[in-house]
């Protein structure tokens, strides 16, 4: 049970739902613990600024009656009128000095706009106002206070204390906090539920790909998975389908290759066995025996070629093919390799023309690998075309590249085959060849920082090997 709980916590579905929840929680935490306190501070500061402004504007009326003959009732009325104008509570304090140079200051209440109420005198702000002889403020948790010193004959003998309650600010902030909490709780619930549903849909799509991958890993190909979106998972699904299609193609090619290789191996082996038995049992004449030996030799050559192709392929896959790049004269390589094919050209009653420039066409490549590619291209041109075709080999240097072309006048390669001739194990005519030569040639060309391309039409086929030109 505990293991099941851990697995659920590690699932993509749970992680995405918790991520939605955490993001929403962080957002509302920032609002509650940062934005709301900042809002409260701004509101309290605004209330303090308002009190300070009205204190400056209305305190002169109180200062004008200092030293005059005004009765207490009249002074009380003036204080209340000032409080009404300022929309604040006003307390008028008298200043009593004592001690050396009058540094000890005490206050007494002269009048207050809150008649009959218990008056708490904010002495600290009053002392600062008298000591500095300028307006002083005090922003407390309950009130915004401004103290204005009132002068008579150049000395501050009275202090007018203006105060406004911060209850409205506290109530507004409390209401906002309550609303934020309620909205946060609702948002967290929606985020958790929405995240769970979205994660569930995403997890279902991921599991569908996972099941498909497990099936393919077990060797069981499935129908393409529907691509129902253009997001990352949709791209992943499309890539999976492409991968499966490639694997199916490779698997089919592998099966075809096994069948072809078996045929290629079985035919010469059975043929060799048959000729050996004939030579042991039959009393044939010398001409017949020479014919049998020639057929046995051809069978051995087929076995040797297949073995070499398979060995080259395994080396390419293992990355053990070493390329030693050096200046290589393509014309010299063409002449050397073409001489090897003189018997094959004669047997096929074909023509082999070498259209080479007088000067050297040097490429930066590995000579042995270029010769190997040349053999593959010439063998391909002679093996897969009717007897009597003409094969032309050209070499030239152009735009910093060295190019070698092998063209034949055969019937051309169908488009559907032309697109796949460089695939491993693929052969357009399964009775001839293993389908490895052109694939090996292309990989060797790419190892030498070059490439091989094909162009074909109903009357001609051309393979072009492009290599980096050697530095002059």
What ranges do the domains of the chain cover? 14-170, 232-316, 321-468
Radius of gyration for the alpha carbons in the chain, expressed in angstroms and rounded: 50
Q: What's the pLDDT at 365?
A: 92
Quick check: 62 and 150 in contact, CB under 8 A?
yes
Q: Tokens standing for 342?
A: 């003189």
Residues shown for the chain: 472
What does each C-alpha distance from 251 to 51, 216, 239, 428 come to in angstroms? 87, 11, 18, 17
Q: Which residues of the chain have pLDDT under 70?
A: 1-13, 101-102, 115-121, 139-140, 253-254, 256-258, 260-265, 267-268, 281-282, 306, 313, 317-318, 425, 427-434, 472
- What does CATH list as the number for 321-468? 3.30.565.10
Burial annotation 89-108 (CB, 10 A radius, 16+ → b, else e) = bbbbbebeeeeeeeeebebe
Q: Tokens standing for 97?
A: 């000095």
- Nearest one of 392, 342, 396, 337 to 369, comparing CA atoms: 337
Cα gap 332→365, rounded to integer Å:
13
Q: Tokens standing for 327?
A: 């200046």
Strand partners, 402: 397, 467
Cα gap 308→314, rounded to integer Å:
10
Q: What's the pLDDT at 431?
A: 46
What does each C-alpha distance from 392 to 75, 260, 372, 460 come to in angstroms? 124, 30, 18, 11
Cα gap 209→205, rounded to integer Å:
6
Overall CATH class of domain 232-316: mainly alpha
- The 3-state DSSP composition of the chain as helix, strand, coil percent (nearest 5) reads 60, 20, 25
Quick check: 366 and 325 in contact, CB under 8 A?
yes
Q: Which fold has domain 14-170?
A: Beta-Lactamase (3.30.450)
CB atoms within 10 A of CB 299: 19
Cα gap 150→110, rounded to integer Å:
13
3-state SS, residue 83: helix
Quick check: 224 and 241 in contact, CB under 8 A?
yes
Q: What's the pLDDT at 117?
A: 52
3-state SS, residue 141: coil
Cα gap 32→178, rounded to integer Å:
10
Q: Tokens standing for 343?
A: 């018997």
Cα gap 379→373, rounded to integer Å:
10
Say what the alpha-carbon torsion angle 322, 326, 327, 330 is, to the nearest 10 degrees: -10
């Amino acid at each position: 049970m505990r293991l099941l709980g851990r697995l659920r916590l590690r699932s993509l579905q749970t992680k995405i739902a918790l991520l939605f929840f955490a993001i929403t929680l962080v957002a509302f935490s920032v609002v509650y613990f940062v934005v709301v306190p900042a809002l409260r501070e701004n509101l309290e500061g605004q209330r303090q600024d308002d009190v300070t402004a009205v204190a400056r504007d209305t305190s002169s009326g109180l200062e004008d009656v200092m030293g005059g003959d005004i009765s207490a009732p009249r002074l009380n009325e003036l204080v209340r009128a000032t409080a009404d104008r300022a929309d604040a509570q006003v307390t008028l304090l008298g200043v009593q000095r004592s001690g050396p140079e009058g540094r000890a200051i005490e206050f007494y209440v002269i009048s207050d706009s809150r008649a009959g109420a218990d008056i708490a005198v904010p002495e600290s702000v009053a002392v600062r106002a008298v000591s500095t002889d300028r307006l002083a403020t005090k922003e407390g948790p309950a009130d915004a206070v401004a103290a204005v010193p009132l002068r008579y004959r150049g000395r501050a003998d009275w202090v007018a204390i203006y105060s406004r309650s911060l209850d409205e600010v506290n109530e507004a902030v409390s209401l906002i906090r309550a609303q934020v909490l309620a909205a946060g709780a609702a948002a967290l619930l929606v985020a958790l539920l929405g995240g769970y549903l979205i994660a569930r849909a995403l997890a279902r799509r991921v599991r569908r790909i996972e099941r498909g991958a497990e099936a393919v890993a077990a060797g069981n190909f499935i129908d393409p998975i529907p691509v129902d979106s253009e997001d990352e998972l949709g791209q992943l699904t499309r890539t999976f389908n492409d991968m499966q299609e490639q694997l199916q193609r490779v698997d089919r090619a592998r099966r075809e290759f096994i069948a072809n290789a078996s045929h290629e191996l079985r035919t010469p082996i059975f043929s060799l066995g048959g000729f050996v038995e004939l030579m042991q049992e039959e009393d044939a004449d010398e001409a017949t025996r020479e014919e049998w030996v020639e057929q046995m030799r051809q069978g051995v050559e087929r076995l040797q070629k297949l073995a070499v192709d398979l060995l080259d392929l395994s080396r390419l896959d293992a990355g053990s093919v070493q390329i030693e790049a050096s200046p290589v004269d393509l014309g010299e390589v063409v002449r050397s390799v073409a001489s090897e094919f003189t018997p094959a050209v004669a047997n096929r009653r074909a023509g082999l023309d070498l259209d080479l420039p007088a000067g050297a066409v040097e490429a930066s490549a590995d000579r042995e690998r270029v010769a190997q590619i040349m053999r593959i291209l010439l063998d391909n041109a002679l093996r897969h075309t009717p007897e009597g075709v003409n094969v032309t080999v050209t070499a030239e240097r152009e735009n910093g590249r060295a190019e070698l072309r092998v063209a034949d006048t055969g019937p051309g390669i169908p488009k559907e085959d032309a697109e796949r001739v460089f695939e491993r194990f693929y052969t357009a005519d399964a009775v001839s060849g293993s389908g490895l030569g052109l694939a090996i040639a292309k990989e060797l060309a790419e190892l030498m920082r070059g490439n091989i391309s094909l162009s074909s039409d109903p009357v001609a086929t051309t393979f072009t090997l492009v290599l980096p030109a050697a530095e002059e």
